[in-house]
Amino acid sequence: MHDIRMIRDNPAAFDAAMARRGLSGVSEQVLALDADRRAKIAAAEAALAERNAASKEVGKAKASGDEAEFERLRALVAAKKDEIARLETEAKAEDEELRTLLMTLPNIMSEEVPDGADEADNVEIRRIGTPKAFGFEPKEHFEIAGVKAGMDFETAAKLSGSRFVVLKGAVARIHRALAQFMLDTHVDANGLEETWTPVLVLEEMLYGTGQLPKFGEDSYQTREGWWLVPTAEVTLTNTVNGMMVDEASLPRRMVAHTQCFRSEAGSAGRDTSGMLRQHQFEKVEMVSIVKPDESKAEHDRMTACAEDILQRLGLPFRTVVLCSGDIGFGAVKTHDLEVWLPGQDTYREISSVSNCGDFQARRMNARFRPSEGGKPEFLHTLNGSGLAVGRALIAVLENGQTEDGGVDLPEALHAYLGGKTRLTPEGTLAG
Q: Which of 266, 240, 244, 241 is nearest to 253 (CA)?
A: 240
Higher confidence at residue 376 or residue 71? 376
Count of helices and strands (H, E) across the chain: 13, 18
Please state, in angstroms and rounded to a whole number, the distance separating the CA atoms of residues 195 and 87.
47
Task: Verify cis geometry, omega within 30 degrees of 0, for the bond prior to 11.
Answer: no
Please state, in angstroms and rounded to a whole number, the distance separating the CA atoms of residues 163 and 343.
19
pLDDT digits (tens, 9 = 90+) for 97-111: 999 999 999 999 999
Please state, in angstroms and rounded to a whole number, the distance separating the CA atoms of residues 413 and 428.
15
Q: Helix (H, G, I), strand (E, B), or coil: what is residue 16?
A: helix
Looking at residue 56, what is its pLDDT? 86
Mean pLDDT of the chain: 96
**What DSSP string runs through 251-268?**
-EEEEEEEEEE---TT-T
Please state, in angstroms and rounded to a whole number, the distance separating the CA atoms of residues 394 and 339.
10
H or E element that contains 158 = helix 153-160
pLDDT digits (tens, 9 = 90+) for 206-256: 999 999 999 999 999 999 999 999 999 999 999 999 999 999 999 999 999
Q: Is 400 left (phi over 0), alpha (psi -120 to 50) or beta?
A: alpha
Question: At residue 269, what are phi and psi to the nearest 5 degrees?
Answer: 85, -5
pLDDT of residue 349 exceeding 70, the answer is: yes
Give 211: exposed, middle or buried? Use CB within 10 Å, 0-12, 13-18, 19+: buried
143 in Cβ contact with 274 (< 8 Å): no
pLDDT of residue 274 exceeding 70, the answer is: yes
Looking at residue 414, what is its pLDDT? 98
* Mean pLDDT on 82-95: 97
Please state, in angstroms and rounded to a whole number, the distance separating the CA atoms of residues 227 and 30.
29
pLDDT of residue 191 exceeding 70, the answer is: yes
pLDDT of residue 266 exceeding 80, the answer is: no
Q: Helix (H, G, I), strand (E, B), or coil: what is residue 191?
A: coil
429 in Cβ contact with 423 (< 8 Å): yes
pLDDT digits (tens, 9 = 90+) for 157-179: 999 999 999 999 999 999 999 99
Looking at residue 67, what is its pLDDT? 81
pLDDT of residue 51 exceeding 90, the answer is: yes
Question: At residue 378, what are phi and psi to the nearest 5 degrees?
Answer: -70, 140
Q: Helix (H, G, I), strand (E, B), or coil: what is residue 29?
A: helix
pLDDT of residue 61 exceeding 90, the answer is: no
Higher confidence at residue 62 or residue 387? 387
Higher confidence at residue 244 or residue 271? 244
pLDDT above 90 as % of the chain: 92
- Cite the active site residues: 262, 277, 349, 352, 391
Query: pLDDT tier at 65 (50, 70, 90 boundaries)?
Result: confident
